[in-house]
Protein backbone atom coordinates (compact mmCIF):
# COMPACT_ATOMS: atom_id res chain seq x y z
CA UNK A 1 0.00 0.00 0.00
CA UNK A 2 1.26 3.47 -0.92
CA UNK A 3 1.40 5.82 2.03
CA UNK A 4 1.70 9.56 1.49
CA UNK A 5 3.31 11.57 4.25
CA UNK A 6 2.32 15.22 4.31
CA UNK A 7 5.26 17.46 5.13
CA UNK A 8 5.03 20.96 6.56
CA UNK A 9 5.03 22.15 2.95
CA UNK A 10 3.53 20.19 0.06
CA UNK A 11 6.24 18.92 -2.26
CA UNK A 12 4.26 16.56 -4.48
CA UNK A 13 3.70 19.31 -7.06
CA UNK A 14 7.38 20.13 -7.56
CA UNK A 15 9.62 19.39 -10.52
CA UNK A 16 13.04 19.74 -8.93
CA UNK A 17 15.88 21.09 -11.07
CA UNK A 18 18.78 21.03 -8.62
CA UNK A 19 20.51 22.61 -5.67
CA UNK A 20 23.01 25.37 -4.97
CA UNK A 21 25.11 25.10 -1.81
CA UNK A 22 26.32 28.39 -0.40
CA UNK A 23 27.69 29.32 3.02
CA UNK A 24 26.18 26.29 4.76
CA UNK A 25 22.74 26.74 3.20
CA UNK A 26 21.29 24.55 0.48
CA UNK A 27 19.03 26.38 -1.97
CA UNK A 28 16.67 24.39 -4.13
CA UNK A 29 15.51 25.36 -7.60
CA UNK A 30 12.24 23.91 -8.86
CA UNK A 31 9.18 24.45 -11.03
CA UNK A 32 5.69 23.92 -9.64
CA UNK A 33 3.30 21.72 -11.55
CA UNK A 34 -0.04 23.25 -12.50
CA UNK A 35 1.19 26.64 -11.29
CA UNK A 36 -1.56 29.21 -11.01
CA UNK A 37 0.86 32.11 -11.44
CA UNK A 38 0.38 32.18 -15.23
CA UNK A 39 3.85 33.70 -15.65
CA UNK A 40 6.60 31.18 -16.47
CA UNK A 41 8.86 31.18 -13.41
CA UNK A 42 10.88 28.98 -11.11
CA UNK A 43 11.31 28.91 -7.35
CA UNK A 44 14.55 29.53 -5.44
CA UNK A 45 14.27 28.63 -1.77
CA UNK A 46 16.10 27.47 1.31
CA UNK A 47 15.66 23.71 1.03
CA UNK A 48 15.33 23.17 4.77
CA UNK A 49 13.32 26.23 5.75
CA UNK A 50 10.86 27.67 3.24
CA UNK A 51 10.04 30.49 5.63
CA UNK A 52 13.69 31.55 5.85
CA UNK A 53 14.21 32.26 2.14
CA UNK A 54 11.84 31.79 -0.80
CA UNK A 55 11.49 33.75 -4.02
CA UNK A 56 10.34 33.26 -7.59
CA UNK A 57 12.11 34.38 -10.74
CA UNK A 58 10.79 34.63 -14.27
CA UNK A 59 12.26 32.12 -16.71
CA UNK A 60 12.46 34.38 -19.78
CA UNK A 61 13.96 37.47 -18.14
CA UNK A 62 15.87 38.43 -15.00
CA UNK A 63 12.86 39.70 -13.07
CA UNK A 64 11.36 38.57 -9.77
CA UNK A 65 7.83 37.20 -9.77
CA UNK A 66 7.00 38.03 -6.17
CA UNK A 67 3.80 36.81 -4.64
CA UNK A 68 2.61 35.99 -1.14
CA UNK A 69 5.39 34.39 0.91
CA UNK A 70 7.84 34.33 -2.00
CA UNK A 71 9.27 37.82 -1.86
CA UNK A 72 12.92 37.44 -0.93
CA UNK A 73 15.69 39.02 -3.04
CA UNK A 74 18.97 37.38 -4.02
CA UNK A 75 22.25 38.98 -3.02
CA UNK A 76 25.08 39.42 -5.55
CA UNK A 77 26.69 36.08 -4.75
CA UNK A 78 23.37 34.22 -5.04
CA UNK A 79 22.71 35.87 -8.41
CA UNK A 80 26.11 34.73 -9.70
CA UNK A 81 25.60 31.21 -8.35
CA UNK A 82 22.13 31.02 -9.90
CA UNK A 83 23.39 32.22 -13.28
CA UNK A 84 26.28 29.72 -13.17
CA UNK A 85 23.91 26.93 -12.19
CA UNK A 86 21.50 27.71 -15.03
CA UNK A 87 24.36 27.72 -17.56
CA UNK A 88 25.81 24.44 -16.24
CA UNK A 89 25.26 21.04 -17.79
CA UNK A 90 22.61 19.01 -16.04
CA UNK A 91 23.98 16.31 -13.76
CA UNK A 92 21.55 13.53 -14.67
CA UNK A 93 23.57 11.64 -17.27
CA UNK A 94 20.48 10.04 -18.80
CA UNK A 95 19.27 13.49 -19.95
CA UNK A 96 22.58 15.27 -20.48
CA UNK A 97 22.39 14.87 -24.25
CA UNK A 98 18.83 16.24 -24.41
CA UNK A 99 19.46 19.63 -22.78
CA UNK A 100 22.44 21.97 -23.08
CA UNK A 101 22.05 23.23 -19.53
CA UNK A 102 19.81 23.54 -16.47
CA UNK A 103 17.98 26.54 -17.93
CA UNK A 104 16.77 24.45 -20.87
CA UNK A 105 15.60 21.84 -18.36
CA UNK A 106 13.66 24.56 -16.47
CA UNK A 107 11.96 25.61 -19.72
CA UNK A 108 11.09 22.02 -20.59
CA UNK A 109 9.70 21.26 -17.14
CA UNK A 110 7.61 24.44 -17.12
CA UNK A 111 6.09 23.59 -20.50
CA UNK A 112 5.56 19.96 -19.51
CA UNK A 113 3.87 20.81 -16.21
CA UNK A 114 2.06 24.08 -16.99
CA UNK A 115 0.43 23.59 -20.36
CA UNK A 116 -1.90 26.61 -20.02
CA UNK A 117 1.03 29.00 -20.42
CA UNK A 118 3.79 27.74 -22.73
CA UNK A 119 7.17 29.46 -22.92
CA UNK A 120 7.80 28.84 -26.61
CA UNK A 121 11.05 28.29 -28.43
CA UNK A 122 12.10 31.82 -29.34
CA UNK A 123 13.42 33.01 -25.97
CA UNK A 124 17.06 33.16 -25.00
CA UNK A 125 18.58 32.44 -21.66
CA UNK A 126 18.73 35.64 -19.60
CA UNK A 127 21.62 36.80 -17.44
CA UNK A 128 20.33 36.27 -13.90
CA UNK A 129 23.15 38.39 -12.47
CA UNK A 130 21.06 41.32 -13.78
CA UNK A 131 18.26 40.64 -11.28
CA UNK A 132 17.45 43.90 -9.43
Question: pLDDT tens for residues 53-99?
Answer: 999 999 999 999 999 989 999 999 999 999 999 999 998 788 888 99
- Whether the per-residue pLDDT at 8 is higher than 80: the answer is no
Counting the structural domains of the chain, the total is: 1
6 is a domain residue:
no
37 is a domain residue:
yes
64 is a domain residue:
yes
8 is a domain residue:
no
Residue 89, Cβ neighbours under 10 Å: how many?
Answer: 12
**Has this prediction a pTM greater than 0.85?**
yes
Q: How far, in Å, CA of 129 to CA of 84, rounded? A: 9
126 is a domain residue:
yes
Q: How far, in Å, CA of 16 to CA of 111, rounded? A: 14
Domain that holds residue 121: 14-130
Amino acid sequence: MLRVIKAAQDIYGMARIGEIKQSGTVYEIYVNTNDGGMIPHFHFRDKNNWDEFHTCIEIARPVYFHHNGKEDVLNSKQKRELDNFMRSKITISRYADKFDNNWELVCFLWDLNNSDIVIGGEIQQPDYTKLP
